[in-house]
Structure 1
Amino acid sequence: MIALLSSAVGRVLFGAIAVLGALRYGTGVWAWRETNRLEKPIYTVVRRLADGVEIRKYEPYLIAETTVPKEGFRESTGDGFRKCASYIFGNSKPRGAGWWKKEDDDGVGEKMAMTAPVRVSGQSTQVGEKMAMTSPVRASGGSGKTKVSFVIGSKYDLKSVPKPVDRAVSLREVPSHYLAARRFAGPPPKDSRVRKERERIEKALGEAGVQAKAASDGSDTMVYGYHDPFITPNFLRRNEVAIMVDSSSV
């Protein structure tokens, strides 16, 4: 009797786990599909190099950007994501709004459409130095800071895009540029993974005779995350590590 009861309980638990797993997977696939429909910066692949590295030419686009005084990709991205997401979801005021919209007001501005990817930028030299001490860091300008940004939809320009209420969020146009990028699946990458991906890109660039260069803000490595880290299964998540390259060497 006890054996039969134990067997029945086991089957019920197994069934419940299977149902929960199916729901989790189904929700993840739905999130992946919805994210794939989001607007993204426009680019053209101009060369394909070894090891899956692409040389891309990006058209200009706007970003909402914030600087986080923390070290490490995962440690920094959360704070930066919240600030930029708050702006995208309405913590803003329209162009021409008056003094009544104070910084501590609740966001009642225009809610903008989500886009992809979330951009994180910094300097690989800082990553490498900190790796030796087994404590990862993703710094910008060598000052222990990370820049996190959201892409703003193409319906806006700098004259029409809503103003951020939070002064920690700034708006700017990213000019047309060339990137060497490598795509991979998985969770948001740790700094050790970012460094390895950058090394693979550098090797492919060296073999092809393409020169890397720093971005206008001083950063030399960018990490792009296209999917959420919570719902979308890791094997479906799109991550990219990218390096700015000199267009004359392409």
Structure 2
Amino acid sequence: MQILWLGLWLVMAGTAMADQQKHKGYEMPPYTVESVADGVELRRYGPHVVAEVTVTGDRSTAISRGFRALAGYIFGGNEGGEKIAMTVPVAQTPAGGDRWTVQFTMPGAYGVETLPVPRDAAVKLRQVAGDRQAVVTFSGLPQTADMETRAAKLRDWIAARGLTVTAGPHYQFYDAPLTLPWRRRNEVSFSVE
């Protein structure tokens, strides 16, 4: 009987880990949850590869411009015309002034050296080292003012625990624009140590 329970637990644990790495069937960067407190997850992300572009404009304009450039790359805008699977989230981080860096995580099967070269010189491929992030997840339409408020509260939460912000805020979007607001997954996070 103990072997049956152990086997069932291993299957459930494996399923939970596999589910954690996908959102609605789309691959996500690998992470584990270290702790959860006050609605904030401390996550440890593993190394992964991103395609990124830095664009200008307000937050909404920049995410659209960045998404178009990166979608062009994965939908065949690269040497060889290879199609690359879509992943989640689409990430956006302020880069100073009205500049924003928008990222797609590349599927785990690729390394920087094995990805096709982008035709658009603005699209860069980069290996990201693993890091630790404090993350707040929420649903709804990701409005700029709301996200800035969530980022300020998260920064206060981080400071109250004696952690140091090393990058961010990062804004992450997991669902297509036509997804109903209450079914959307959005996140605000900071890299911390």
Give the alignment's TM-score, normalised by structure 1.
0.66
Partner of 2:98: 144
Matching residue within 183, 193, 197 for 2:150:
197
Specify whether residues 143 and 202 from structure 1 end up closer, same or farther in structure 2 by C-alpha distance, changes over 3 A only. Answer: closer
Asked whether the 8 Å contact 1:185–1:235 carries over to 2, the reply is yes
SS of 1:93's equivalent in the other structure is coil
1:228 and 2:182 matched: no
Partner of 1:113: 85
Asked whether the 8 Å contact 1:49–1:208 carries over to 2, the reply is no
Shift of 1:119: 0.6
More helix, by proportion: 1
* AA matched with 2:47: P
Comparing both chains, which one has the higher relative contact order based on Cα–Cα distances under 8 Å and sequence gaps of 6 or more?
1
Partner of 1:208: 161
* AA matched with 1:152: M
Shift of 1:209: 2.4
Contiguous gaps of at least 5 residues in structure 1: 1-33, 95-108, 123-139, 215-219
Asked whether the 8 Å contact 1:49–1:204 carries over to 2, the reply is no
Runs of 4+ in 1 over 3 A off after TM superposition: none
SS of 1:120's equivalent in the other structure is strand
SS of 2:111's equivalent in the other structure is coil
Matching residue within 132, 157, 172 for 1:178:
132
| Identical columns (%) | 34
- C-alpha distance in structure 2 between counterparts of 1:171 and 1:206, whole Å: 32
Matching residue within 117, 122, 132 for 1:163:
117
* AA matched with 2:55: V
Give the alignment's TM-score, normalised by structure 2.
0.85
Please give the root-mean-square deviation of Cα atoms over the aligned residues, in Å.
Answer: 1.4
- C-alpha distance in structure 2 between counterparts of 1:73 and 1:183, whole Å: 19
Q: For residues 52-91 of structure 1, what are the structure 2 equivalents within 5 Å?
A: 52-70=39-57, 72-91=58-77
Larger radius of gyration: 1
* AA matched with 2:102: V
Deviation per CA, 1:16-51: give whole Å up to 9, x if none.
xxxxxxxxxxxxxxxxxx96111100101112122x
Partner of 1:29: none
Q: How many residues align?
A: 172
Matching residue within 166, 187, 190 for 1:240:
187
Contiguous gaps of at least 5 residues in structure 2: 1-21
SS of 1:112's equivalent in the other structure is coil
SS of 2:85's equivalent in the other structure is coil
Asked whether the 8 Å contact 1:49–1:205 carries over to 2, the reply is no
Asked whether the 8 Å contact 1:110–1:162 carries over to 2, the reply is yes
More strand, by proportion: 2
* AA matched with 2:171: V
Asked whether the 8 Å contact 1:88–1:114 carries over to 2, the reply is yes
* AA matched with 1:150: F
Asked whether the 8 Å contact 1:223–1:239 carries over to 2, the reply is yes
